[in-house]
Homo-oligomer: A and B are copies of this chain.
Amino acid sequence: MTIQEIREYLGRFFEFVELDGNADEVISGPAKIETAQKGQVSFIANEKYLKHLASTGASLVIVHRSVCVDEFRSRISFLKVADPYSAFVFLLQKFAKPRIVAARGIAPTAVIGEGVSIGEGVSIGEFAVIGDRCSIGSNAVIGAHTVLLHDVAIGDDTVLFPRVSCYDGTVIGKRVVIHSGSVIGADGFGFAPQSDGSYVKIPQMGTVEIGDDVEIGANATIDRATMGTTVIGRGAKIDNLVQIAHNCRIGENTVIAAQAGISGSVTIGRQCMIGGQAGFAGHLELADRINVAAQAGISKSFLQPGISLRGYPAQPMRDQLKHEAMQRGIGALKEKLDHLDDEMKKLRGEA
């Protein structure tokens, strides 16, 4: 791919793409600025990294339109854009080799139930099990060993990697990606305590609905609702080993990092960012665009959009940082108190 071709490709996404360099040079692939070699393209999105221009081997670097590159233009070509990070991401998509999750068509070892509807261009991998009355949208990919119980609906262009489980009734949108080992629609954790100390299982009769453009990492678990639906909103991104309990509603474009755990009946707004290993008590609500720090413990609802939360029990960032500073100040407090005590003793003629 020549630099000129890259420029044209980026022109699909950005109004302004200015070339400063050799349009004909061939670029073989992307690399980090620190390790890039001749023939590779890299990017700088943060001024801190501009220092690497002196030593990088990259033939092409994507930078912000405001960056002055005069010093390096004899050795490096530049493409200038308004958002070099996104530009590089689009370029990665261009260079990424297609990963073969399952061959086109239905593997001869796959088991397809009764009344299954399968769209055009579908790939179903070895030993996949598709339950009765499932529907698989066009161009969807079902990896090897993935199991759909009955009445599961998979949207167009969705990719389930190998070894995913979807329990009965799960509904998955279009262009969804679910990584290996994840379990969608297992029973919510609900048991009614009896007077003898034992528990009676509360039947989990609901389902899970996953919106379009959601991505779910490896070995995550999203439980079905007790009654009704557990909902993952359109565009949400859920990392590995995340737990989402029964009857949760996760808002559109909300991002949840690895190992976070959301208890039952929690509602999280749109465009929130939940840090890794954060935990939520049940039956609470978060407004839109709330940031939750890693390992935070959310014990109540927060209804003001856009705030940041941290700590256990979590509170708004400013309060929590003040709280933490106070705690670090206990030593100074103790010293001041001891000093006052001495003075008091002097005043009273004891010292």
Q: A residues touching B (Cβ–Cβ < 8 Å)? A: 30-32, 35, 85-86, 89-90, 92-93, 95-97, 99-101, 109, 111, 125-127, 129, 131-132, 143-145, 147, 149-150, 161-163, 165, 167-168, 177, 179-183, 186-187, 189, 191-192, 194, 197-203, 205, 213, 215, 217-221, 223, 227-228, 235, 237, 239-241, 243, 245, 252-253, 255, 257-259, 261, 263, 270-271, 276-277, 279, 281, 294-295, 297, 312, 323, 326-331, 333-334, 336-337, 340-341, 343-344, 347-348
Q: Which 7 A-B pairs have the closest CB atoms?
A: A96-B203, A183-B218, A165-B180, A186-B218, A221-B240, A147-B162, A92-B203
Contacting residues, chain B, for A127 (C-beta < 8 A): 111, 126-127, 129, 145
Contacting residues, chain B, for A336 (C-beta < 8 A): 337, 341
User: How near does chain B come to A16, taking the closest CB pair, in angstroms?
Assistant: 15
Check if B337 sits within 8 Å of A326, measured CB to CB. no
Check if B168 sits within 8 Å of A179, measured CB to CB. no
Check if B221 sits within 8 Å of A221, measured CB to CB. no
Check if B276 sits within 8 Å of A261, measured CB to CB. yes
With both beta carbons as reference points, the residue of chain B lying nearest to A163 in the complex is identified as B165
Name 28 interchain pairs, CB-CB below 8 A, sorted by A.
Answer: A30-B227, A31-B227, A85-B192, A89-B202, A97-B205, A100-B131, A100-B132, A101-B149, A125-B129, A147-B162, A147-B163, A147-B180, A161-B186, A163-B165, A181-B221, A183-B219, A187-B215, A187-B217, A191-B215, A191-B237, A219-B221, A245-B258, A277-B277, A277-B279, A327-B327, A336-B337, A340-B341, A343-B348
Check if A199 sits within 8 Å of B235, measured CB to CB. yes
Contacting residues, chain B, for A241 (C-beta < 8 A): 219, 221, 241, 243, 261
Contacting residues, chain B, for A228 (C-beta < 8 A): 32, 35
Query: Assuming A90-B200, A243-B276, what are 18 further A-B pairs, CB within 8 angstroms?
Result: A86-B200, A89-B200, A92-B202, A92-B227, A111-B126, A145-B163, A189-B240, A201-B215, A219-B241, A257-B263, A258-B261, A258-B263, A295-B297, A323-B328, A326-B327, A336-B341, A337-B337, A344-B344
Check if A205 sits within 8 Å of B30, measured CB to CB. yes
Residue from B162, B341, B343, B347 in contact with A165 in the complex, judged by beta carbons closer than 8 Å: B162
Using known A-B contacts A99-B149, A200-B86, determine if residue A217 contacts B227 with beta carbons closer than 8 Å.
no
Using known A-B contacts A99-B149, A165-B161, A279-B277, determine if residue A217 contacts B186 with beta carbons closer than 8 Å.
yes
Most chain B CB within a 10 A radius of its CB, from A213, A218, A258: A218
Check if B344 sits within 8 Å of A168, measured CB to CB. no
Check if A340 sits within 8 Å of B331, measured CB to CB. no
